């Protein structure tokens, strides 16, 4: 089922929606649109009551095996006080999206212990071209059993594909970057950093003890914003136990380069002794991998070799 816990599905063009439906149908899935997903208010969203109702219905319906969020936005955290966490815990489902969906994924883990998936939203499945990497990693993580390695993409883009599907601009990937060497293993939490930080001080902030944090942000996050948000997270009591950090590729609008990012990360004393990998394929550029929020990963990072393995039991 497709739900819109942040921005309304009405913001997606019919052409993009049809490509997404076709692609998911080819995976053997039947696409069902939640009753309130297309409602639209003055904030590109819909009422809290409508969004909560759709989320509850999606988890409660025994015919629904997976829940895709439409895309991101700014207000999914409005739902948190009104969600029935027992209902969600008793009806585990595949739940996937990214960006603003970060608050729901990490809150679900905090309140229920269920694993969710940071990966392509319903709208991302509407990309007509250059979707192969994203689709491959989605299937590896969600549709198959067994552990797997996330692999670097060979090219990437930061174009607004939804407005022009045929004039895509690809750039060669410079690959992942080791900021700090080391090995680590732990439960994955995080996602969009500025969104993840909205959970601090609330009952929905997960325990980050001994975790591996996957962190990224969009074009609205400059280097100063990212530094400030990471500093805030690093001052939470359990951060000293974090095992590793994986940073997603920045959008061009952020104007963040690897040298600047390395300077920010290596200046923080709390990060000195943990492996850090940057420029990884997740976040707001394309393509993106899928990884489990609440799942386990193993990290190896040297200047010449980087490995990210998603471990299933």
pLDDT of residue 176: 98
Question: Does residue 99 carry a catalytic annotation?
Answer: yes
The active-site residue out of 153, 221, 284, 296 is 284
Residue 109 buriedness (CB in 10 A; 0-12 / 13-18 / 19+): buried
Question: Does residue 216 carry a catalytic annotation?
Answer: yes
Residues 110/46/284/212 CA torsion (nearest 10 deg):
0
Strands (E) across 47-93 are located at 66-69
pLDDT of residue 144: 93
pLDDT of residue 274: 98
**Number of neighbours of residue 214 by Cβ within 10 angstroms:** 28
pLDDT along the chain (313 residues), means of 10: 98 96 97 98 96 98 97 97 98 98 98 98 97 98 96 96 92 96 98 98 98 97 96 98 98 95 96 98 98 98 95 87
Note the pLDDT tens digit of each residue in 51-107: 999 999 999 999 999 999 999 999 999 999 999 999 999 999 999 999 999 999 999
The active-site residue out of 6, 8, 46, 99 is 99
List of domains in the chain? 2-126 (3.40.50.10740), 149-311 (3.50.30.60)
Please write down the long-range contacts of 47-51, taking CB distance under 8 Å and 24 or more positions apart.
48/78, 48/79, 48/82, 49/82, 51/3, 51/4, 51/5, 51/78, 51/79
The active-site residue out of 8, 36, 137, 216 is 216
Q: What angle do CA 88, 93, 96 make, to 5 degrees?
A: 105
Question: Does residue 137 carry a catalytic annotation?
Answer: no
Tokens of 195: 């969104």
pLDDT of residue 306: 97
Tokens of 105: 């994924």
Residue with token string 């680590």: 184
């Amino acid at each position: 089922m497709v739900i819109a816990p942040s921005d309304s599905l009405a913001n997606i063009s019919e052409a993009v929606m049809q490509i997404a439906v076709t692609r998911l149908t080819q995976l053997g899935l039947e696409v069902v649109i939640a009753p309130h997903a297309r409602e639209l208010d003055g904030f590109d969203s819909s009422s809290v009551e409508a969004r909560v109702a759709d989320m509850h219905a999606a988890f409660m319906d025994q015919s629904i095996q997976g829940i895709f969020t439409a895309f991101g936005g700014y207000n999914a955290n409005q739902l948190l006080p009104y969600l029935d966490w027992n209902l969600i815990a008793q009806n585990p489902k595949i739940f996937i999206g990214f960006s603003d969906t970060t608050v729901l994924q990490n809150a679900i883990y905090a309140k229920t212990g269920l694993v969710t998936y940071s990966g392509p939203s319903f709208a991302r499945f509407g990309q007509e071209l250059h979707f192969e990497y994203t689709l491959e990693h989605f299937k590896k993580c969600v549709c198959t059993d067994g552990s797997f390695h996330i692999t670097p993409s060979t090219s990437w883009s930061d174009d607004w594909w939804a407005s022009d599907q045929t004039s895509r601009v690809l750039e060669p990937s410079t690959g992942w970057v080791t900021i700090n060497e080391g090995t680590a293993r732990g439960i994955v939490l995080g996602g969009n950093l500025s969104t993840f930080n909205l959970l601090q001080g609330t009952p929905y902030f997960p325990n980050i003890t001994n975790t591996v944090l996957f962190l990224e942000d969009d074009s609205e996050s400059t280097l100063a914003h990212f530094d400030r948000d990471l500093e805030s997270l690093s001052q939470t009591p359990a951060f000293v136990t974090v095992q590793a950090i994986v940073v997603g590729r920045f959008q061009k609008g952020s104007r963040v380069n690897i040298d600047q990012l390395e300077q920010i990360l290596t200046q923080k004393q709390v990060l000195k002794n943990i492996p850090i990998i940057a420029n990884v394929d997740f976040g707001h550029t394309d393509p993106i991998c899928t990884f489990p929020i609440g799942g386990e990963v193993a990290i190896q990072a040297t200047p010449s070799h980087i490995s990210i393995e998603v471990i299933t039991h």
